[in-house]
Structure 1
Amino acid sequence: MQSLKQLAKKLKKETYAVYLASTDQRVPWYARILAGVTVAYAFSPIDLIPDFIPILGYLDDLIIVPLGIWLVLKMIPPEVLAECRQKAAAEIEPEKPINQVAAAIIVAISISFGILAAIWLKQIFKS
């Protein structure tokens, strides 16, 4: 169990290092694009295969994200990657940071959809 936690922590640091590299001008443009897509997919709540599908739902996260990170790491110049890994190790907090702005946006969108659904249902049952 401890090795899984260490592996997850390493993947988190590598993902953040890839994010940092995606903003570095010394990294080739194609590597920055792939890095951005990989990081966006890693943190996106939307998956190619939804998580509620047994086994397959998590399989895409276990294959796509590490494969994308591996490919990007091969494209990043070694000196840039070393700098990004140092920055990632220094900046990552032991606990998951809470993004209150993102949470507020998600709540607002959910409430908006709820209101729209209620209005729509009211119109359907009214006629």
Structure 2
Amino acid sequence: MYFAARDARTPWAVRLLALLVAAYALSPIDLIPDFIPVLGYLDDVILVPLGLALVLRLMPPPVMVTARERAEAVVDRPVSVAMAAAFVLAWVIVLFGLGAWAYRRFS
């Protein structure tokens, strides 16, 4: 969806819809707050896939073909396992530090 929305052949209305769907999916603000049991997550489970399906339906087919090719090329790039391990280690250290701080502060 990212590559299709950034293609110059994509109509501006479809680009805007793709942006709105992505913003809603990533936004901490929902139509129904997540702390409400069942309904809080139900809007995410229904609205985001419906928005994506609408964007895919409105997207011109040649744009989707090009976007899929570009996405597959990105997936085939080499991945640095060492860098991924470094990020995970950094997060573990940060979380451990926060946990130790919280334990000392509230004990």
TM-score, scaled relative to structure 1: 0.54
Q: Does residue 73 of the first structure (1) align with residue 56 of the second (2)? A: yes
SS of the residue aligned with 2:13? helix
Q: Pick closer, same or farther for the CA change 1:30–1:59 going to 2, 3 Å.
A: same
Q: Percent identity?
A: 55
SS of the residue aligned with 2:64? helix
Question: Partner residue of 1:20?
Answer: 3
Q: Give the counterpart letter for 1:28 in structure 2.
A: P
Question: Partner residue of 2:17?
Answer: 34
Aligned positions, number: 79
After the TM superposition, list the runs of 4 or more consecutive aligned residues in structure 1 that deviate by more than 6 angstroms. Answer: none
Q: Which runs of 5+ in 1 are unaligned?
A: 1-17, 98-127
Q: Within 1, Cα distance between the matches of 2:27 and 2:63?
A: 25
Q: Which runs of 5+ in 2 are unaligned?
A: 85-107
TM-score, scaled relative to structure 2: 0.63
RMSD: 2.5
> 1:1-127 maps to which residues of 2 (within 5 A)?
18-91=1-74
Q: Within 1, Cα distance between the matches of 2:52 and 2:29?
A: 18
